[in-house]
Amino acid sequence: DAGVIQSPRHEVTEMGQEVTLRCKPISGHNSLFWYRQTMMRGLELLIYFNNNVPIDDSGMPEDRFSAKMPNASFSTLKIQPSEPRDSAVYFCASSFSRTYTLSARDNQPQHFGDGTRLSIL
C-alpha cells in the first residue's frame, strides 16, 4: 500500500516567493496533519484536518501560512511570501479517526510522509 506522499521532496527558493507543498494522505484516512521540523523547535503541529475540515490551526505561525484540503486525497500548505526563517522540513501525516475529537478510545496512529525539505535563501 502507498504511504503518505509528499511533493516536492526538496524546494529551494528565494525570499519573497510563494511556496506550495503538497500531500496525498493514505487512502481511507480521514485526518490529516501538517508538521514542521527544525533543530531549534523540534516537531511542531501546524494544522490538522478531519474529514477535510480544518479543526485546529493554532500552530500556524502567521498569516503567511495557509493550508487547504479540497478533497479527501489532497492537501496543500502554502507560504506567501516566504522568509528564510521558514526553512525547515515539513511533514504531512494522516490517520483514521472514528470520532470528531480523536477521543481516548481512538488510538489510530499517525503515518508520516518523508517530508519536504524547504530552503528559503
CA 19 to chain centre: 13
Give the angle 51-56-59 at the CA atoms, nearest 5°.
135
CB of 43 or CB of 121, closer to other proteins: 43
Cβ–Cβ < 8 Å for 49, 34: no
The x, y and z cell numbers of residue 71, run together, are: 478533497
Closest separation in Å from C-beta 100 to other proteins: 10
Q: How many CB atoms lie within 10 A of CB 4?
A: 22
CB of 3 or CB of 16, closer to other proteins: 3
Closest separation in Å from C-beta 84 to other proteins: 22
Closest separation in Å from C-beta 103 to other proteins: 8
Closest separation in Å from C-beta 56 to other proteins: 5
CB of 67 or CB of 93, closer to other proteins: 93
* Residue ranges binding other proteins (CB under 8 A): 4, 31, 33, 42-45, 48, 55-56, 91, 93, 97, 101-102, 104, 106-107, 109-115
